[in-house]
Structure 1
Amino acid sequence: MEESARPSSSVRTSPPHVDLQAVPHPAEESAASPEVLEPGTAPLSRTTPAAWERRYWAWVVGSDVFAVALVIAVSAYIIDRVAPHDMHAFGTAAAVLFSLPVSRAWSQRVLGEGAEEYRTLGRGLILAAVAVAFGGLLFGALEVQVWVFIVVPAIALVAFPQRYVLRQVLHRRRRHGRCLLPVMAAGSVDTLADLIERTRREAHVGWRVEAVCASGAGGAPEPGEVEGVPVVGKLDELARHVRRGGYRVVAITADQYWSPQRLQRLAWDLEGTSAEMVVAPVLMEVAGPRLNVSGVLGMPLLRVTAPSFTGGRRVVKEIVDRCGSALLLTLLSPLLLVIALAVKLGDRGPVIYRQRRVGRDGATFTMLKFRTMVTDADRIRATLEAGNEGAGPLFKMRRDPRVTRVGAILRRYSLDELPQLVNVLAGRMSLVGPRPPLPEETEKYAPDARRRLLVKPGLTGLWQVSGRSDLTWAESIRLDLRYVEDWSLALDLVILWKTFRAVVFGHGAY
């Protein structure tokens, strides 16, 4: 279809001369550079996935097939002794290999895309289990129960870790600047700068902003570059530049230029190209289960539900907190004893450090930790204020002279936090939640920061898995508020897993 056949809002005046071939594209990771088209020529055809995308897809599919074949073979040997007349093994394998693509578990759009990849994989395995159970009922083979409740879950136990390992390999390559999707972004200069900074900080997402379209404030000429990324044109020239550049993602950030009509026309103009258009909503920090898109009166509406602080999910969280802390205290009791002895023998001082902290709804409680500093640390702090490296009301020093030798080891691996499990068991804290603040910190809180006190503080949280002591005050507040607003049981599980990794490798703790 000719480009002129689509309605377009592009201004037909000549844009400032910019050599689009100078915009860097990855050599291996992206598709071959498309031919530069003159205005009015036919649009680019949809490009095929890059070589790394095809290889990664093949590895994912191959790993899933391997997991199915391995578990089915072992199960058939154990359960049926490879009886030639028994079709349970073949039926289960067929159900799984059919359900995974049907559930989009092999779609390139979801591979490497965070929790969505795991959700589609889980959905496919649940569909396979239902299909096996239905087949058993249909053909009168009631003995398929073991295949439904044991074999399919066993496949999940193999497939999920394999997916995780492959994603870690992909993330490592992305951190080294490989396996990234070329992105064209368009919006205001401020929102573009924020997007570029986020993509660089979180390279595992897989985006590399290579060019932007922007206009200056008040319609002034656009700048030459934004955060080192070249500006190739104005907002009304976006579709033309996307067609010439072969970008895989077109990211639309906030700007008063974007009206519903212009976004719709842009979507039309991008049809037939390799680009996927993504639009950043104004509510940048609201995500997850609180956002739903629905159609009302023929209009797409983004529904934002109120955050949940009570209800059934909170009861489940309370049960998990109490049972989990009790189990961890039991399993870790030998380690707790060893640490207590090490602290005591270090300087003959007290083992446990007690400190008043602020909990839910502003109620104070006594938080328990293994002592990592000298006994008169609080008194000495006043003499160290000049060396404070913490942001906001926090006091932090990378080389705090008050920390003992044993305490330095405990802090690096967060072992000093283990006695807080007693606070969790007593119901004063949660396994996952905002950081428990000091009373003097809360006195300096702005109104938005006080929303952290709507839920119980946590032994770990988003602040723990996103940089720990390396975070600025504003970043720690933003992460805590994001958790308060978008909390879910799935998010808690992800945070607990990432906490384990952060603690093992000692990232960002001092």
Structure 2
Amino acid sequence: MLLDHHGAGPGTATRTLRRPVRASAPGRPRVASRPQTRPWESRYSAALHVLDLTAAVAATGTVLLVSAPDVRPGLLLPAAVMVLAWPALLAGTGAHDGRVFGTGSDEFRGVGRAGFLLLALSSFVSYVAQLDLSRALVLLAVPTLTVLTLAGRYGARLRLRRLRARGACTKRVVVVGRGGAVTDLAARLRRDSSGLEVVAACVTPDSRSGVAAALRVPVSGLDDVAAAVARHGADTVAVTSASETAAEYLRRLSWQLEGTGTELLVAPGLIEVAGPRLHIRPFEGLPLLSVEQPRFEGWRRVVKGGVDRATAALALVFLTPVLLVIALAVRLDSPGPVLYRQERVGVNGRGFTILKFRSMAVDADRRLAELLDRNEGDGLLFKMRRDPRVTRVGRWLRRFSLDELPQLLNVLGGSMSLVGPRPPLPAEVERYDSSVSRRLLVRPGLTGLWQISGRSDLSWEEAVRLDLRYVENWSLALDALILVKTVRAVVSSSGAY
């Protein structure tokens, strides 16, 4: 369904800047246009329409099949209306906007809003028109339809990301700003597989050679952006935060790009702050970027704690046979205790004892000093792909993260959460600076962004960046997404050693 063409939605580190309808230069004004639709986006949207209709037919058809024979004739028309209304509602909530394809959660939120609207409209029309609609059609078909659509969107997104990993279905981007900021943003876009392909850069004169060497793309000056867009067939301009790209420069750049269909993105300078914490607020006609403070208390934390403990309790009950088998395997494989206990640092710097199935020999901590010169990690972490201290059963446990299962007891006791930053060692915390110490503002997690992003393959800097991103942007929805992705990361055993 998807072919190798360029184009994609913006990543989480950028925000769209609406271009005013102004003259690009004294004399002839241009007619502002919407960002151009790339061929792959049209095909992708058409494929999504097919998936949406299929989900609608499957959901309503199932309800018709399970309904009583004498009720089915009266359900045919409402079911047909529901099938036809579903794509329109999805389009109305932005679920077919090209800017959300493959990036962020806006696409999924659009599907959720469409499901809520369909449920509300069905109930309202049934009440006002005094229609005797089947409860199954309203209370069963709509939620089923929403879930099936979300599943289809998730599958389509996986396909899109695989294509983007091969350089297809991307937007061609010109990055603009000061040298260091341009290099950092370009590296972030490439690392995050956001669908934004950096094809050129426009920077200050003193940083042109350095940026060209670092990015290996054509580099020109800040006054050459429009020409660079045309020269390299770009459809997006991403501007970094710097004094050289302040308000007056952005205003003139937006005028130059009017009528070209080029999308203008501005990085707010708050790379790790995204999602619901960022809002555009108008003050006396002046649009300002509002950054809300992260919430570390309140009802969401209470809900998170309740969900954590209830889930941990249920998991321990259902996993008891598995836990017993693993405990027996650890005991038979090597001498020593089944559980490994280690002091870690939790929320607000409070210490606690973390529990794991023992995956190393009992003298592993004493042997660490003799292995330090073979450390393959950086920063404060010790890593070895073939650590001689790991037992045979331990290597298998680590591959699928089964050694972490006893931490459900930590979650049940309240010292850990299901999702959070990696629980650090006291020796690591002693060397934290003020920014890294923000990891301690929330409970450490059994899993987190570090778990779904590469685990032991991550550098120290990357692991810290992911933990800080979680702390700054925590939400219940993000926790749910991380838990779902953890299953895939564990099954693939990527970065586990």
TM-score between both structures, scaled by the size of structure 1 = 0.88
Rounded Cα–Cα distance in structure 2 between residues aligned with 1:93 and 1:120: 17
| Secondary structure in structure 1 of the residue aligned to 2:340 | strand
* Counterpart in the other structure of 2:63: 75
- Tell me, yes or no, if structure 1 residue 163 matches structure 2 residue 153: yes
| Secondary structure in structure 1 of the residue aligned to 2:244 | coil
Matches within 5 A, 1:210-225: 210-217=199-206, 225=212
1:207 Cα offset (Å): 0.9
Identify which of 295, 303, 308 aligns with 1:321: 308
Matches within 5 A, 1:423-462: 423-462=410-449
* Counterpart in the other structure of 1:29: 5
Please list the CA deviations of residues 361-384 of structure 1 after superposition, one character each: whole Å capped at 9, or x if unmatched: 222111110000111111111221
| Secondary structure in structure 2 of the residue aligned to 1:431 | strand
Rounded Cα–Cα distance in structure 2 between residues aligned with 1:67 and 1:274: 33
Rounded Cα–Cα distance in structure 1 between residues aligned with 2:348 and 2:211: 50
Rounded Cα–Cα distance in structure 1 between residues aligned with 2:138 and 2:203: 55
Rounded Cα–Cα distance in structure 2 between residues aligned with 1:215 and 1:451: 34
1:28 Cα offset (Å): 4.8
* Counterpart in the other structure of 2:196: 207
- Count of residue pairs the alignment pairs up: 473
Alignment check: 8 A CA contact 1:182 1:207 kept? yes
* Counterpart in the other structure of 2:252: 265
Rounded Cα–Cα distance in structure 1 between residues aligned with 2:364 and 2:297: 39
- Tell me, yes or no, if structure 1 residue 338 matches structure 2 residue 325: yes
Rounded Cα–Cα distance in structure 2 between residues aligned with 1:235 and 1:152: 51
Identify which of 218, 222, 235 aligns with 1:235: 222
Rounded Cα–Cα distance in structure 2 between residues aligned with 1:298 and 1:400: 61
- Tell me, yes or no, if structure 1 residue 121 matches structure 2 residue 118: no
Rounded Cα–Cα distance in structure 2 between residues aligned with 1:333 and 1:50: 52
Do the aligned partners of residues 88 and 221 (structure 1) sit closer, same or farther apart at CA in structure 2, a change above 3 Å counting?
Answer: closer
1:245 Cα offset (Å): 4.1
Alignment check: 8 A CA contact 1:222 1:233 kept? no
- Tell me, yes or no, if structure 1 residue 364 matches structure 2 residue 351: yes
Alignment check: 8 A CA contact 1:193 1:226 kept? no
- Tell me, yes or no, if structure 1 residue 65 matches structure 2 residue 62: no
Rounded Cα–Cα distance in structure 2 between residues aligned with 1:476 and 1:120: 31
Higher alpha-carbon deviation: 445-454 or 93-102: 93-102
Alignment check: 8 A CA contact 2:183 2:215 kept? no
Alignment check: 8 A CA contact 1:183 1:248 kept? yes
Listed as ranges, the gaps of 5+ residues in structure 2 are 8-26
Rounded Cα–Cα distance in structure 2 between residues aligned with 1:249 and 1:327: 48
| Secondary structure in structure 2 of the residue aligned to 1:278 | strand
Rounded Cα–Cα distance in structure 2 between residues aligned with 1:251 and 1:226: 20
Rounded Cα–Cα distance in structure 2 between residues aligned with 1:366 and 1:223: 48
Alignment check: 8 A CA contact 1:246 1:274 kept? no
Task: Among all aligned residue pairs of Structure 1 and Structure 2, give the percentage whose two residues are the same amino acid.
Answer: 47
* Counterpart in the other structure of 1:397: 384
Identify which of 279, 290, 304 aligns with 1:303: 290
Please list the CA deviations of residues 199-253 of structure 1 after superposition, one character each: whole Å capped at 9, or x if unmatched: 22222x1111111111233xx7666825344335311221233245442211111
Rounded Cα–Cα distance in structure 2 between residues aligned with 1:213 and 1:73: 55
1:130 Cα offset (Å): 1.1
| Secondary structure in structure 1 of the residue aligned to 2:149 | helix
Rounded Cα–Cα distance in structure 2 between residues aligned with 1:461 and 1:316: 18
Amino acid at match of 1:170: L
Rounded Cα–Cα distance in structure 1 between residues aligned with 2:161 and 2:275: 22
Please list the CA deviations of residues 253-292 of structure 1 after superposition, one character each: whole Å capped at 9, or x if unmatched: 1232112122122222212213110000112211122211
Higher alpha-carbon deviation: 346-355 or 74-83: 74-83
- Tell me, yes or no, if structure 1 residue 385 matches structure 2 residue 372: yes
Matches within 5 A, 1:465-480: 465-480=452-467
Alignment check: 8 A CA contact 1:433 1:460 kept? yes
Rounded Cα–Cα distance in structure 1 between residues aligned with 2:93 and 2:314: 36
Do the aligned partners of residues 48 and 482 (structure 1) sit closer, same or farther apart at CA in structure 2, a change above 3 Å counting?
Answer: closer
Do the aligned partners of residues 340 and 222 (structure 1) sit closer, same or farther apart at CA in structure 2, a change above 3 Å counting?
Answer: closer
Higher alpha-carbon deviation: 105-114 or 276-285: 105-114
1:421 Cα offset (Å): 0.2
| Secondary structure in structure 2 of the residue aligned to 1:366 | strand
Rounded Cα–Cα distance in structure 2 between residues aligned with 1:343 and 1:47: 59
Rounded Cα–Cα distance in structure 1 between residues aligned with 2:299 and 2:401: 31
Do the aligned partners of residues 224 and 122 (structure 1) sit closer, same or farther apart at CA in structure 2, a change above 3 Å counting?
Answer: closer
| Secondary structure in structure 2 of the residue aligned to 1:230 | coil
Rounded Cα–Cα distance in structure 1 between residues aligned with 2:100 and 2:4: 21
| Secondary structure in structure 2 of the residue aligned to 1:250 | strand
Higher alpha-carbon deviation: 221-230 or 487-496: 221-230
Rounded Cα–Cα distance in structure 2 between residues aligned with 1:232 and 1:385: 43
Amino acid at match of 1:482: R
* Counterpart in the other structure of 2:450: 463
Do the aligned partners of residues 215 and 80 (structure 1) sit closer, same or farther apart at CA in structure 2, a change above 3 Å counting?
Answer: farther
Larger radius of gyration: 1
* Counterpart in the other structure of 2:11: none
Please list the CA deviations of residues 32-77 of structure 1 after superposition, one character each: whole Å capped at 9, or x if unmatched: xxxxxxxx99989878633322221111111001110121122123
Rounded Cα–Cα distance in structure 2 between residues aligned with 1:185 and 1:351: 54
- Higher relative CO (Cα under 8 Å, sequence separation at least 6) belongs to 2
Rounded Cα–Cα distance in structure 1 between residues aligned with 2:451 and 2:4: 35
* Counterpart in the other structure of 2:40: 52
Matches within 5 A, 1:491-506: 491-506=478-493
Rounded Cα–Cα distance in structure 2 between residues aligned with 1:282 and 1:467: 26
Rounded Cα–Cα distance in structure 2 between residues aligned with 1:176 and 1:170: 10
| Secondary structure in structure 2 of the residue aligned to 1:164 | helix
Identify which of 185, 190, 196 aligns with 2:175: 185
Amino acid at match of 2:102: G
* Counterpart in the other structure of 1:487: 474
Listed as ranges, the gaps of 5+ residues in structure 1 are 1-26, 32-39
Rounded Cα–Cα distance in structure 1 between residues aligned with 2:196 and 2:44: 16
Rounded Cα–Cα distance in structure 2 between residues aligned with 1:388 and 1:83: 68
Do the aligned partners of residues 345 and 99 (structure 1) sit closer, same or farther apart at CA in structure 2, a change above 3 Å counting?
Answer: same
1:297 Cα offset (Å): 1.9
| Secondary structure in structure 1 of the residue aligned to 2:253 | helix
Rounded Cα–Cα distance in structure 1 between residues aligned with 2:369 and 2:296: 38
Alignment check: 8 A CA contact 2:171 2:197 kept? yes
Alignment check: 8 A CA contact 2:178 2:242 kept? yes
Higher alpha-carbon deviation: 220-229 or 237-246: 220-229
Amino acid at match of 1:210: V
Rounded Cα–Cα distance in structure 1 between residues aligned with 2:422 and 2:299: 24
Alignment check: 8 A CA contact 1:103 1:121 kept? yes
Higher alpha-carbon deviation: 471-480 or 487-496: 471-480
* Counterpart in the other structure of 2:495: 508
1:414 Cα offset (Å): 0.6
Please list the CA deviations of residues 100-138 of structure 1 after superposition, one character each: whole Å capped at 9, or x if unmatched: 111121222222222111011111111111111111012
